[in-house]
Structure 1
Amino acid sequence: MELATIRTAGGTCAAVRSADRWLPLGAPHLSALLAAGDWRTTAEAALAGTSPGAGVAGDAEGVPVGEAELALPLPAPAKVICCGLNYADHITEMGRDLPEHPTLFAKFADTLTGPTDEIAVPPAAQGELDWEAELAVVVGAELRSAGEEEARAGIAGYMLANDISVRDWQKRTLQWLQGKAWDATTPLGPVLVTADSIDPEAGIGITCEVNGDRRQNGNTKTLVFSAAALVAYVSQFTVLRPGDVILTGTPGGVGMGMQPPQYLSHGDTVVVEAEGLGRLANTIRFSTAH
């Protein structure tokens, strides 16, 4: 099952895909849908034609897939937690040993942006701007101190992310936050593919291209810490609730690891794709405004 947040004449709405149409689900976006708690029942009712919210998008029959504009699917997560150094090849290119525990940092909801939105980069961040294609895990149930099996059962699904990183700021201290949390620089989406439809432990190929040039080519079966293991680990120290997001790390091929390093410039287009999860395509715009 695929869920999304689509743009409408009146704003946005959560929707579920039925063949060639997006059916509205009576919530303004996926953050609100997941927080309601009965998101799966709501989506299944829409697919069965028994949903009372079908008119939210202004069309009882839904919106044709080819005409729908996909927005940021989760605009209001309470938590966005990220794992760094989780693919063996990326760990090697960064000159580090395989970790015993996940390396974690946080983002904020303000950091996220849509799957095709332009990324406006302020002057202070225009020095060493890097790409990081990632698998994002979306939590679908409240989890506290969960074991790995409970965590796996509590995953709503998966989507793509691009952890655009400002490396010169990231390298200022041992703490990464200031290089990772710039407003509207982390594309997320384009859709939420539910966990019963895709299995990252079986392997999902993830790629990143910059202006058509392949930079990253990884597979989630090589993650050091699996999606379920990360969810379980994080739930030990903070409660996770429906709509929270966990980014699982990036494979090798980032600009910082190249010899010499290569970074993004004004006008570059970064495309992140994965088998069964779709595509993010975002153009970099260097802004003159602070």
Structure 2
Amino acid sequence: MRAIKTIPIILLAVGMISGCVSNKKFTELQSDYSKLKDRNQELSNKYQDSQRELTGSTSRVTSLEDQIKSEKANSAGLQAALDKCLTSTNQGSVNVSKLVDEINSSNKYIKQLVNAKNKSDSLNLVLTNNLTRSLSREEMQGVDVQVLKGVVYISLSDNMLYKSGSYEVSDMADETLNKIAKIINDYKDYDVLIEGNTDNVPISQKNIRNNWDLSTLRASSVVQALQNKYGVDPKRLTAGGRGEYNPVADNSTPDGKSKNRRTQIIITPKLDQFMELIGKAPDEAQKP
């Protein structure tokens, strides 16, 4: 489950403010905090439900691949036995007929497994095409979109978004965030989680305690940019950080560290919206 670290910071801020504001203002702040806390819990529950509902598809694909491998090995063994029988005496004629039937049955089953796996791969392609339908081919360059377990992940490296060694969004990020906002705004009812990730090198900057802080602050900067500059509804957005604890590469190499320093935009449709997406074929005529 994604770890969202903003609630303790808000609680600390409310505690500090309560000593220097009126009771009415403090009550309002407490009410705002309760709403934010409830919203955070609601989004976390939605994300968990989506993961549980859709994780079965990935397990099924893995199982299909294992079955395909097993059936291919079985078919090869049967074929070898058949070849041996064909070169032996006529007394093997009955066994030959049985082996032919078994081979045909095995090949038919392999074909069914391959078709099932291809269908799953095609589904991911359809989802990707539908979710990027608002982008031209030129705009798709530099945006890595993947569909995993029914969830859409858009991964961006830190040097595409932030000033060096900072959590502030750079001016160079405008073009990239404009592309992301197009996708998000094209699906106005979907929840969006902005998730920051770092490498394992400790941060040494004033007011940033560790990589947890850095990853969360970076995610928060992207959320605010999407809201303030590109008109994304803030009610749909959640900022979270996973620090150094969700690596995609080995941190022992510079290239691995670079891959781990990334921000992911995670678009999570509800189950009924996901099924609706499956039913839509990508409209190639809209692509320039």
Same fold (TM over 0.5): no
Give the TM interval when normalised to the shorter protein: under 0.3
Give TM-score scaled by structure 1 length: 0.22
Question: Higher strand proportion, which one?
Answer: 1
Question: By percentage of residues, which structure has more helix?
Answer: 2
User: Which protein shows a greater Rg?
Assistant: 2
